[in-house]
Amino acid sequence: MKISGTDVLDLLCPAGGWIISGDDFENITWVDDRPRCTKEQFEAGFAQVEAAKAQAEAEAAAKKAAAEAKLAALGLTADDLKALGLGGN
């Protein structure tokens, strides 16, 4: 999974106030006086975003597994729900 400088700034400075071209701290243009991150925070942010995305994926997989277990307890599958027009993707 590719983490971009935009992903990092969205995490560290969600209120905006920046423009970035590429993935380097030196390519950030600060456009107002909102709080800014440091170069060290920005560089550490790549690992933070990666960890947050991995955690979100793990949580989604756990929710899916729990839902499938509930369906199985009812004697159903995700395909059964789709056949009834109740399932998503």
Residue 43 domain flag? yes
Higher local confidence (pLDDT), 6 or 68 = 6
Residue 16 lies in a domain: yes
Is there a domain that residue 15 lies in?
yes
pLDDT digits (tens, 9 = 90+) for 36-88: 999 999 999 999 999 999 999 999 999 999 988 998 899 988 888 888 888 76
Residue-wise DSSP of 2-42: ---HHHHHHHH-TT--EEESSS-GGGEEE-SSS----HHHH
Residue written as token pair 């983490």: 3
What residues make up the domain containing 59?
A: 5-83
Distance of CA 45 to the CA centre of its chain: 13
Would 89 be classed as within a structural domain?
no
| H or E segment to which residue 87 belongs | none
Residue 88, domain member (yes or no): no
- The CA distance from 51 to 44, in Å, is 11
> Count of domains in the chain?
1
The answer to the question of residue 58 being in a domain is yes
Which pLDDT belongs to residue 80? 85
